[in-house]
Amino acid sequence: MPPAGVAVTTPVFQRLCLIGAGLIGSSIARRNRERGDLAGEVVVTARSAATLARVRELGFADRVEEDAAEAVKDADGVIFCVPVGAYAGVMRHIAPHLAPGAILSDVGSTKGSVIRDLLPLCPPGVRLVPAHPMAGTEHSGPDAGFPTLFEGRYCIVTPLPNGDPQAVEKVREFWRRCGSAVESMDAATHDKVVAIVSHLPHLIAFTICGTADDLSEETRESVLKFAASGFRDFTRIASSDVAMWRDVFLNNREAVLEMLARFTEDAHAFGRAIRWGQEEFIVDRIQRGRKIRRSLIERKQA
Amino acid sequence: MPPAGVAVTTPVFQRLCLIGAGLIGSSIARRNRERGDLAGEVVVTARSAATLARVRELGFADRVEEDAAEAVKDADGVIFCVPVGAYAGVMRHIAPHLAPGAILSDVGSTKGSVIRDLLPLCPPGVRLVPAHPMAGTEHSGPDAGFPTLFEGRYCIVTPLPNGDPQAVEKVREFWRRCGSAVESMDAATHDKVVAIVSHLPHLIAFTICGTADDLSEETRESVLKFAASGFRDFTRIASSDVAMWRDVFLNNREAVLEMLARFTEDAHAFGRAIRWGQEEFIVDRIQRGRKIRRSLIERKQA
């Protein structure tokens, strides 16, 4: 029930099952604790006993279930909040227990793989509406979540071409109530866009940390000492959840490899211009960076 | 003169000539206005009439000179505060006018090139002590400076092997009074360290902005719209001064190309691991990123 003073709106779901209670899952549950308009009841399930125990202690779930098959019973909303690589295994386990008419959604950073892994196992009548809230912090686990995580952030919904419009609208409303700006896009476009705005920058950040780590002992010491803003910003990106990012790279393979190929071609061209002293090329690249930066500022994204 | 209430210390230089009045030069001049212990008199010269006029308006210089040869006359300290590519040309012009015993220093981000360009033209008795204050913002020009820019930031001094210890100590004291933590290093080590902590991250940031800009119209629109934290952080780095960065890349060529080669090899290895689904490799890279991040936090660099 919502606390006194909060307007009583019919919740989007009567019973919502969250599979996974990390940063995203626990933030959804906490938001419902605060507002009560996402779901009448929130059931949380997680794989590890430690997470389950911590979720019970933190008290943001109405019910905690060890067995995901038990957790999804009679739920009209089920949201996958685990790394995308775990989806297929979980789905095999829960599919026979999903309620007829239930809406199945998720919060993964890749969308083509989600459709690939979930759709073939969807029982008739269960409606799949993948979604990707573009929100996160450096922290993970059930302690990391907070109810305002999604406020002012985009949430991209990627409806199936023949998806049920009512189910899509329910998921959109769910994320609006989480505070997000909701956008729709097909899964293939989504995967390409996040490959360049998020997955490639993370790949680069992880890589440059490794490159620095491989330098001679003496240089590495100085690198840590003199990490100027450039390198420091890269490492901030690099401090993200291991399992989540492993699964992102493996499950958005084609788009990430395409963007990586484009990027390394461009980096080689930049290097060649440095070697041969091609000032105009270098100046052009620097100016394009500034131009994109200005576009972002105009859109209040920076 | 320092304002009332500030302890009167003998200034490091009697007459200090700043060649260039951008972010760094104007911050030095402003700091002396506030404290008076860097120089008894600050003479500023700059190439463009617009900059000279603006420096006069802003009033942080004791004297403004159009001609650099005039500006350095009788100065016991001269600091190059222009992009490193301009050093050789300026030095040819001022060298005959440098006062005997003057200390010649600079603030450039490359040090090998500075020694290469300045040392052969140094008149006998003039003492060259290159330095690199590791401080900056996204902004440039005489309006961008402020007196606390260098506070708490490293300044790396790269003394010549047979340099005058007294001159080196003067330059170190100068930067300590600017608020910097002063470190010494040979020029070659400096150039390698900044190549990985600063120049390569900037090269990458400029490049990825270009890569995004080359995408199809529709994808580019979405990129700007959904620029998540990863891409946004990269563009922040990319919004730096054009002439300065052009000169950095051209004047730290060998070290930047070496670090770029190491990095692209590592990025290709990461891409290959994604293509072939090598989970262990990917997890190892992500964990190394987190490890470096933790080291930086322990050193309070992040």
Does B246 contact A283 at a Cβ distance shorter than 8 Å? yes
Same domain as B287, residue B198: yes
**pLDDT value of position B95:** 98
| Polymer length in residues for chain A | 302
Which of B156, B185, B214 marks a domain boundary? Answer: B185
**pLDDT value of position B230:** 72
Instruction: Note every long-range contact of A4-12, with CB atoms under 8 Å and residues 24 or more positions apart, other chains counting.
Output: A6/A34, A6/A35, A6/A36, A8/A36, A9/A37, A10/A37, A11/A36, A11/A37, A11/A38, A11/A39, A11/A40, A12/A37, A12/A38, A12/A39, A12/A77, A12/A170, A12/A173, A12/A174, A12/A177
Q: For B55-61, what is the mean pLDDT?
A: 98
Contact A299, B224 (CB under 8 A): yes
Nearest CB to A211 within list B262, B275, B302: B262
Q: Mind listing the pLDDT tens digit for each residue in A10-57?
A: 999 999 999 999 999 999 999 999 999 999 999 999 999 999 999 999
Which residues of chain A neighbour B238 with C-beta distances below 8 Å? Answer: 286, 289-290, 292-293
The C-alpha of B240 sits at a distance from chain A's nearest C-alpha, in angstroms, of: 7
Instruction: Report the CATH number at residue B267.
Output: 1.10.3660.10
Does A250 contact B279 at a Cβ distance shorter than 8 Å? yes
Same domain as A216, residue A129: no
**A137 to chain B: nearest residue by CA?**
B229
Residue B206 falls inside a structural domain = yes
**pLDDT value of position A223:** 85
**pLDDT value of position A299:** 77
Does A282 contact B246 at a Cβ distance shorter than 8 Å? yes
Does A267 contact B156 at a Cβ distance shorter than 8 Å? no
Residue B2 falls inside a structural domain = no
**A288 to chain B: nearest residue by CA?**
B210
Which residues of chain B neighbour A202 with C-beta distances below 8 Å? Answer: 230
Mutation target among B185, B206, B253, B264 for the A interface, most CBs of A within 10 A:
B206
Residue B129 falls inside a structural domain = yes
Contact A64, A55 (CB under 8 A): yes
**How many distinct structural domains can be found in chain B?**
2
Contacts with A182 (C-beta within 8 Å, 6 or more apart), sequence order: A154, A155, A156, A157, A172, A175, A176
Does B286 contact A136 at a Cβ distance shorter than 8 Å? no
Same domain as A288, residue A226: yes
**pLDDT value of position B3:** 56
Which residues of chain A neighbour B302 with C-beta distances below 8 Å? Answer: 227, 232, 235-236
Same domain as A273, residue A158: no
Which of A132, A164, A185 marks a domain boundary? Answer: A185
**pLDDT value of position B139:** 86
**pLDDT value of position A77:** 98
Same domain as A137, residue A19: yes
**pLDDT value of position A228:** 65
Does B236 contact A260 at a Cβ distance shorter than 8 Å? no
Which residues of chain A neighbour B237 with C-beta distances below 8 Å? Answer: 229-230, 233
With CA atoms as reference, report the closest residue to B96 among B127, B71, B121.
Answer: B121
The C-alpha of B155 sits at a distance from chain A's nearest C-alpha, in angstroms, of: 10
**pLDDT value of position A240:** 73
Same domain as B158, residue B25: yes
Joined tokens for residue A41: 């009841």
Question: Can you give the residue range of the structural domain that contains B157?
Answer: 13-185
Same domain as A196, residue A131: no
Joined tokens for residue B150: 């260098």
Helix, strand, or coil (residue A255)? helix
Which residues of chain A neighbour B217 with C-beta distances below 8 Å? Answer: none
Nearest CB to A292 within list B212, B246, B253: B212
Q: For B240-265, what is the mean pLDDT?
A: 94
| pLDDT under 70: residue ranges of chain A | 1-8, 228-229, 239, 300-302
Higher pLDDT, A240 or B259: B259
The C-alpha of A82 sits at a distance from chain B's nearest C-alpha, in angstroms, of: 17
**pLDDT value of position A176:** 98
Higher pLDDT, B152 or B232: B152
Q: What is the ipTM of this complex?
A: 0.87
Average per-residue pLDDT for chain B = 92
pLDDT band at residue B296 under the 50/70/90 scheme: confident
Does B263 contact A208 at a Cβ distance shorter than 8 Å? yes
The C-alpha of B239 sits at a distance from chain A's nearest C-alpha, in angstroms, of: 5
Which of B162, B185, B208 marks a domain boundary? Answer: B185
Higher pLDDT, B170 or A197: B170
